[in-house]
Structure 1
Amino acid sequence: MKAIFRVLAATTAIGMATGAFAQNVTMKFGHVGNPGSLFEATVDNFAACVNDSMGDKVEVQTFGSSQLGKDKELLQKLKLGQVDFALPSSVMSSVDDTFGIFEMPYIISDRDHMRRVQAELMDVFQSAANDNGYQIVGLAENGFRNITNNTRPINVPADLEGIKLRTPNGVWRLKMFQEYGANPTPMAFSDVFTALQTGVIDGQENPYAQIASAKFQEVQKYLSITEHVYTPAYILMSKKKFDSLDADIQAGLTDCANKTQDFTYERAAELETSLLKVIEDAGVEVNTADKAAFIEASAPIYQQFADEVEGGQAMIDKVLGLGTPG
């Protein structure tokens, strides 16, 4: 009889342990943002939301500054199950041309416009992600991008002639700056500071939050406010991993991603003011570029996207049409 009780007790213990394991999933969130960046704030906010609301089921651990890999490596690690979340931005245009719509210059006017695009076209973006083995849990942002360099102020596209400019690993950004006359050089974000410092490249383009947190103002002479591209960021998982989760966990992650988007937009708007001052105070010369000239020079990129991407013109028309409410 004692032996039977011992077997039952052991079986119960195993069952309890299995249940406890199923209810305590540790998930790794890797990203390329430096301390103080919008990426770090976004990921930390998402992790705090998940850990507070689902602490008995899920714990999200965060790893910034490319600790778990650069953007392309993180995309691969998602599929291999080595990382659970990543926060890619421009690199998504190399995953599927659909995401290249956000590489079109000046196509997104503000965050309210982005929300309308999200409401109307999220199914399109999710389908493109799913087709490539990913699941968009939610959207955040990288932000409005501006140009820094050590050669000259950039007022019109012709001022970019011959400038070695770092770009993310996205084909459409490369094409855009080639069209403007620059010499674009794709490079991982974590390598940019040293490349600027040593003169391997002359400049780069990023939102203020990335510029300031990476301390590019310490190795750049000029900041030109172009706001040439608005790039969303994607709270991304592998589709396989997301589909394997219980429905309540999926719902909880999605809910926290939506709340994080609200936080990120508010935080980003604050940083646009405070970090511009940080960059100016570092001695960087600031000018506002002639956006009309850049918009005019961007027409060939729009045409290329329309010609090369299936449904490209319809997507351009849709996004531009959502620019004005009503």
Structure 2
Amino acid sequence: MKFIARMLATTAALGIAGSAFAADMTMKFGHVGAPGSLFEASVNNFAECVNSTSDGKVEVQTFGSSQLGKDKELLQKLKLGQVDFALPSSVMSSVDDVFGIFEMPYIISDRDHMRRVQGEMMDKFQSAAEAKGYHIVGLAENGFRHITNNTRPINVPSDLEGIKLRTPNGVWRVSMFKLYGANPTPMAFSDVFTALQTGVMDGQENPYAQIASAKFQEVQKYLSITGHVYTPAYILASQKSFSKLPEDVQAMLTDCASKTQDFTYEKAAQLETELLDVIKAAGVEVNEADKAAFIEASKPIYEAFAKEVDSGQEMIDQVLSLASGS
């Protein structure tokens, strides 16, 4: 009887301890990144920061590999309150034209440049997001994008002639590759491996971290280092839901997002070297593309953006003026 009493007392104590450590608020973070991707590392870093900083009050649970939906589904689920955070990248250009500035080829030169753009223009991006019902908690990154395919090495834009190329959803990326001569098709990231494996698509374009973590090197022959677009990623919440959070929770989430950006930039720079070696080791033929030729061929995209997007030329000029840091 004494043993049973001790067991009951221990069980009760454990129950009390367990409830003490139960989070007051559980938040779901969905993203499309595969295991080993920069997306996964960034989201996990954010979750770890929140979970440790909040002293058990808030728990961020992470769901990668499109478990909670593809990019467009996650955007909708944010508004419905079914997901608390998502990590969209290129798809943001379909949310508001302002985000299309990051679809302009070679407009971002490096991460320091991106930080200056963020510092000067973040209010513009935040206003655009909130007008569509979202709140940008912070920035991470997708990275500098390069082209893989099974047809030929891509040295100049004309080498893309006729190549069936998967792109993310976004009118400017599609327009850019049409201009280069490719046959671009928007497709959800989770569908790309099978499309490449079966020949539905000849190629795709992504940063090394996405290429390697999705194992595209297993179904692609050529990698051409173009660095044609730098895409930030957005730690995104519903504006309505975020505004209802206590101010201290909002501040904590914003602070963790800022720390995650620092982590992401450091991790991304590390992966750029490591993962290129992984891709090469798989037998993929790698070449350095003629970036000057791509920049020259990209002028009509800039002209179209300036003409079609409100304040488009002003945004282009402002981003380019921040390239040198002067």
TM-score, normalized by length of structure 2? 0.93
Is the 2:50–2:60 contact (alpha carbons within 8 Å) kept by the matching residues of 1?
yes
Distance 2:212 2:31 in 1: 17
Distance 1:242 1:311 in 2: 29
1:272 corresponding residue in structure 2: 272
TM-aligned CA deviation for residue 281 of structure 1: 0.4
Distance 1:59 1:92 in 2: 26
Question: How big is each residue's C-alpha offset from its partner over 1:173-217, in whole Å with a ceiling of 9 and x where there is no partner?
Answer: 011101111000000000000000000000000000000000000
Instruction: Say whether residues 1:228 and 2:228 are aligned partners.
Output: yes
1:65 corresponding residue in structure 2: 65
1:141 corresponding residue in structure 2: 141
After the TM superposition, which segments of 4 or more aligned residues of structure 1 sit over 2 Å from their partners? Answer: none
2:107 corresponding residue in structure 1: 107
TM-aligned CA deviation for residue 57 of structure 1: 1.9
2:249 corresponding residue in structure 1: 249
Distance 2:61 2:171 in 1: 31
Is the 2:23–2:59 contact (alpha carbons within 8 Å) kept by the matching residues of 1?
no
Instruction: Say whether residues 1:320 and 2:317 are aligned partners.
Output: no
Instruction: Say whether residues 1:240 and 2:240 are aligned partners.
Output: yes
Question: What is the root-mean-square deviation in Å for CA atoms of aligned residues?
Answer: 1.2
Secondary structure of 1:141 counterpart: strand
Distance 2:195 2:56 in 1: 44
Map residues 192-231 of structure 1 onto 2, 5 A cutoff: 192-231=192-231
1:34 corresponding residue in structure 2: 34
TM-aligned CA deviation for residue 23 of structure 1: 7.0
Question: How big is each residue's C-alpha offset from its partner over 1:128-155, in whole Å with a ceiling of 9 and x where there is no partner?
Answer: 0000000000000000000000000000
Number of residue pairs the alignment of both structures matches: 307
Map residues 78-93 of structure 1 onto 2, 5 A cutoff: 78-93=78-93
Is the 2:169–2:187 contact (alpha carbons within 8 Å) kept by the matching residues of 1?
yes
Amino acid at match of 2:89: S
Distance 2:325 2:221 in 1: 39
Distance 1:322 1:70 in 2: 33
Distance 1:79 1:217 in 2: 36
TM-aligned CA deviation for residue 55 of structure 1: 3.4
Amino acid at match of 2:278: V
Distance 1:192 1:66 in 2: 13
2:172 corresponding residue in structure 1: 172
Secondary structure of 1:220 counterpart: coil
Secondary structure of 2:258 counterpart: helix
Question: How big is each residue's C-alpha offset from its partner over 1:158-179, in whole Å with a ceiling of 9 and x where there is no partner?
Answer: 0000000000001110111011
Secondary structure of 2:109 counterpart: coil
Distance 1:95 1:55 in 2: 35
Distance 2:216 2:56 in 1: 41
Secondary structure of 2:56 counterpart: coil
1:290 corresponding residue in structure 2: 290
Amino acid at match of 1:122: M
Distance 2:67 2:40 in 1: 12
Secondary structure of 2:200 counterpart: coil
Amino acid at match of 1:174: V
1:182 corresponding residue in structure 2: 182
TM-aligned CA deviation for residue 56 of structure 1: 2.9
Instruction: Say whether residues 1:52 and 2:52 are aligned partners.
Output: yes
TM-aligned CA deviation for residue 324 of structure 1: 0.3
Amino acid at match of 2:78: L
TM-aligned CA deviation for residue 68 of structure 1: 0.1
Secondary structure of 1:320 counterpart: helix
TM-aligned CA deviation for residue 325 of structure 1: 1.4
